[in-house]
Amino acid sequence: MTDVLLLADLHGNYGKLDAFLGYDYDAVIIAGDITNFGPLEPVDSVLSNFEVPCFAIPGNCDPREIIDVIERSDAVCLHNSWITLGKVTLAGLGGSNETPFDTPFELTEEEIEKELTRIINYMGKNVHNVLISHAPPHGVLDTVDENHVGSKSIRKHMARFDLICCGHIHEARGVTEVDGVKIVNPGPASEGYGAIIRFGKEPKDIHIDLIAV
C-alpha cells in the first residue's frame, strides 16, 4: 500500500463519491461521520463502492451501532484497533471527545486516553505509523470560533505517530506538521473534498495532496 484516498465527514451525502473513483489509489480510509445521525441502511453499499481495501472508523455523528454495520461490510472497522500493511500500520479511534451538542458517539478524555494507551502498547513500531481519529489533536486543525476543541488525549500521544488523519472540524481543512508529526483534515467529503496520501519507502517520507471533485 503506497497511495491512499482519505475521506471524512460524508454526513449521509454520498453524491460526490463516484467522482473520487477516478483517482489512482491502493486503499481508502474513511475518518468518520459516514452518516448524519443515521440512517445506517446505506452504509454497506457506500463502503462497497470502492474496489480497493477500505478502512473506516465512526464519527461523533454516527450512531454507535455503525460499528456492527462496518464490521459486517467489505470494509475493515478500525475503531479501537490497528492493522499492519507492509510498511504502514493503521490505528483507529472513532467517535470524538465530548462536544456541547450531545452527539451519538462521544468519548470522555479518560476513555480516549485508555484506548490510545492500549493501542500504542500493542501495535509495535513500523516505518509509517498512522492514527485515524475522527477528532483532531487539541490545538491542531481544531479551531471553532477561535476556540480549540480537539482532544487533549490525542495530543498527548500524538508523537507516537508519524501521521494523524482526522476530520470533525469542517472549517479546519488542511495539512500541517507539529513536532515532526503530519496532521491532515481532508475536509468534508459531502462537499467533494478529500486527500491523497503517498507513503514512501523511508520513515517520514509521507506526501499529502488535498483534492476536490
How far apart, in whole angstroms, are the C-alpha atoms of residue 153 and residue 144?
19
How far apart, in whole angstroms, are the C-alpha atoms of residue 141 and residue 143?
6
* Cross-sheet strand order for the sheet of 206-212: 76-77, 54-57, 27-31, 3-7, 193-199, 206-212
The whole-number pLDDT of residue 211 equals: 98
- Phi, psi (deg, nearest 5) at residue 152: -70, -30
Q: Give the start-to-end residue ranges of the domains of the chain.
A: 3-212
Q: If one looks up domain 3-212 in CATH, what number appears?
A: 3.60.21.10
Are 171 and 131 in contact by the 8 Å Cβ rule? The answer is no
Using alpha carbons, select from 78, 107, 113, 95 the residue that is nearest to residue 4: 78
Q: What is the pLDDT of residues 102-156, one digit of tens each?
A: 999 999 999 999 999 999 999 989 999 999 999 999 999 999 999 999 999 999 9
Grid cell locating 20: 473520487
Tell whether the torsion through CA atoms of 56, 202, 210 and 165 is positive or negative: positive
How far apart, in whole angstroms, are the C-alpha atoms of residue 163 and residue 131?
6
Taking only Cα atoms into account, the Rg of the chain, rounded to an integer number of angstroms, comes to 15
Q: Which residues of the chain have pLDDT under 70?
A: none
How far apart, in whole angstroms, are the C-alpha atoms of residue 46 and residue 128?
28
The whole-number pLDDT of residue 1 equals: 75
